Structure 1
Amino acid sequence: MSISVADPLANNVWCDEDRLWVELEDGRIVGVPLKHFPRLLQGTPEARSRWELIGPGEGIHWPELDEDISVAGLLAGARDNTKWGRDHGSGE
């Protein structure tokens, strides 16, 4: 017997003072510290609220902040591992 597991897709995104929240199509809600993504942490609440889904929801893009985060990466515990991210605190 084989089991097919679809990749999770985002359908809603929001930030509070210190967390990024992603609601998945299957009803789960995932929260991660903004400090894992320094561009989001340093962005204004208004810039963080202006996001776009990548494709059908495989990822999230913030045009004003030059940030892209994949849903699979969030679920795997990934952080901003670019040089900019490491220099600005995501490795804490």
Structure 2
Amino acid sequence: MNISPKAVRFDDDTLWVSLSDGRTIAAPLVWFPRLLEAAPEQRAKVELSKGGLHWEALDEDISVSGLLAGQPDLTRRNTHQAA
């Protein structure tokens, strides 16, 4: 896939990603518990790469292909369900 992220922004409930092909895609923050719980300053420290988004301090990685496929991060949600 040759589509890469160009910019990231947030509102109260949504992650917005502008892509290199001109599209902007949105995903609900509840799909990404680490981002949902993070402070705005932490969310702002995103690193953009060819394939996705990375937040070092939050240990969060989101791929463009995953966003386009509508795939949420279920890792922490499954952990909470097991507790």
* Corresponding residue for residue 77 of structure 2: 85
Percent identical residues:
49
> Displacement, 1:88?
4.9
Quick one: which of 13, 19, 38 aligns to 2:8? Answer: 13
| Contact 1:21-1:29 within 8 A present in 2 as well | yes
Structure 2 unaligned residues grouped into runs of 5+: none
1:51-76 CA-partner distances (Å, limit 9, x unpaired): 0013xx31100111110000000000
Match in the other structure for 1:47: 42
Paired residues, number: 81
Match of 2:51 among 33, 48, 58: 58
AA of the residue aligned to 2:6 = N
Aligned to 2:62: 69
**Structure 1 portions without partners, runs of 5+:** 1-5
SS at match of 1:32: strand
Query: Which structure has the larger Rg over C-alpha atoms?
Result: 1
1:26-84 deviations in Å (ceiling 9; x for gaps) = 11000110000000000011101110013xx31100111110000000000111122x2
Contact 2:46/2:55, CA 8 A, preserved across alignment = yes
